[in-house]
């Protein structure tokens, strides 16, 4: 279900900045990020730790107020229409979002109630997501008893309870084993096909961005330094050569 208005991009930012005071020092975490994300895109934000990826996401989700610049989500200004922005997106942060002592289905129902859904609708939606993310058999278990992969699937479900047209995933597979990562992405991509959800994710896994995202945006030191398809970015780097020299044939053989 889409709530985008008048053909606007799902995300549009102009010169977005965020500065923090650290003692007497001013830290420029984000320095003028300008980008557009179209409805239905799957975009990956890449960059080293401290590059400004998570800070940018927190501004776009209204968790942090920008120092300067503007941004709109589904046509709504992040400063002037915070409630509309929040109802238009789901956010899955780096930590687990569910209460450890709560039961899985209860958490989903409560999330729906927090978004103003009638209790009956919230219960129906919780059961839909439990089924879609293969969590039905875990519905009565406490969150603390779930595996890492199961918790992340629950986090995705919590972010989708209100059927947002936009989903932010902040390093959703960090720390997961390869099989759990692949399983989680199968679920995410299937839900995207069925719902047409726009997805923006941050990740440290280059192969993840390469295989999943239609666009890759690279952020470093708070600025966008590249924005294109993975294939185009790789083509720009093609042809570069690295020459290695060794003191002996034995050392070369070991390196090979």
By DSSP bridging, strand 215-220 and strand 42-46 are parallel
Four-point Cα dihedral 82, 87, 93, 96, nearest 10: 130
CA distance linking residue 216 with residue 45, whole number of Å:
6
By DSSP bridging, strand 42-46 and strand 25-37 are unpaired
Residue 217 near residue 226, CB atoms below 8 Å? yes
pLDDT at position 224 is: 94
For 255, which DSSP code?
H
pLDDT at position 194 is: 85
CA distance linking residue 168 with residue 158, whole number of Å:
12
**Mean pLDDT value of segment 202-231:** 88
How much is the pTM? 0.83
pLDDT at position 14 is: 96
Please report which helix (H) or strand (E) contains residue 57, including its range.
helix 53-60
What residues does each domain of the chain span? 11-88+164-255, 100-163
Provide the residue count of the chain. 256
Find the DSSP H helices in 161-229: 178-195, 206-212
pLDDT at position 50 is: 87
How far is residue 138 from each of residues 143, 146, 152, 182, 243, measured CA to CA in Å? 9, 8, 13, 20, 54
Strand-pairing partners, residue 201, are 44, 169
4 pLDDT more than 60: no
For residue 249, name the pLDDT band (cuts at 50, 70, 90). Answer: confident
17 pLDDT more than 50: yes
Residues 6+ apart with CB under 8 A from 118: none
pLDDT tens, position by position, 85-110: 999 999 998 877 788 889 999 999 99
Q: What is the largest CA-CA distance in the chain?
A: 74
3 pLDDT more than 80: no
Q: CATH for 11-88+164-255?
A: 3.40.50.300
pLDDT at position 241 is: 64
Between 148-160 and 119-132, two packed helices, what is the crossing angle to 10 degrees?
140
Q: Coil, helix or strand for 177?
A: coil
pLDDT at position 184 is: 83
Give the chain's mean pLDDT: 88
239 pLDDT more than 70: no
pLDDT tens, position by position, 18-61: 999 888 899 999 999 999 999 999 999 998 888 999 899 999 99
pLDDT at position 1 is: 37
Residue 119 near residue 82, CB atoms below 8 Å? no
pLDDT at position 240 is: 62
């Amino acid at each position: 279900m889409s709530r985008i208005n008048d053909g606007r991009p799902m995300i549009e930012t102009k010169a977005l900045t965020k500065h923090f005071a650290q003692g007497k020092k001013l830290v420029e975490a984000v320095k003028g990020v300008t980008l557009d994300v179209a409805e239905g895109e799957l975009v990956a934000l890449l960059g080293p730790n401290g590059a400004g990826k998570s800070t940018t996401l927190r501004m776009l989700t209204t968790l942090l107020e920008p120092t300067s610049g503007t941004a709109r989500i589904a046509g709504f200004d992040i400063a002037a229409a915070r409630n509309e922005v929040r109802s238009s997106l789901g956010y899955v942060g780096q930590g687990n979002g569910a209460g450890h002592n709560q039961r899985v289905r209860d958490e989903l129902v409560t999330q729906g109630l927090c978004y103003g859904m009638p209790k009956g609708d919230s219960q129906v939606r919780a059961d839909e997501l439990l089924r879609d993310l293969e969590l039905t058999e875990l519905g009565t278990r406490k969150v603390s008893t779930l595996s890492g992969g199961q918790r992340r699937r629950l986090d995705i479900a919590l972010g989708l309870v209100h059927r947002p047209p936009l989903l932010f995933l902040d390093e959703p597979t960090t720390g997961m084993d390869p099989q759990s990562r692949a399983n989680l992405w199968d679920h995410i991509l299937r839900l995207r096909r069925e719902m047409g959800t726009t997805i923006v994710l941050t990740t440290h896994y280059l192969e993840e961005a390469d295989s999943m995202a239609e666009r890759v945006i690279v952020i470093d030191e708070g600025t966008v330094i590249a924005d294109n398809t993975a294939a185009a970015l790789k083509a720009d780097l093609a042809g570069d050569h690295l020459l290695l020299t060794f003191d002996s044939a034995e050392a070369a053989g070991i390196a090979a």
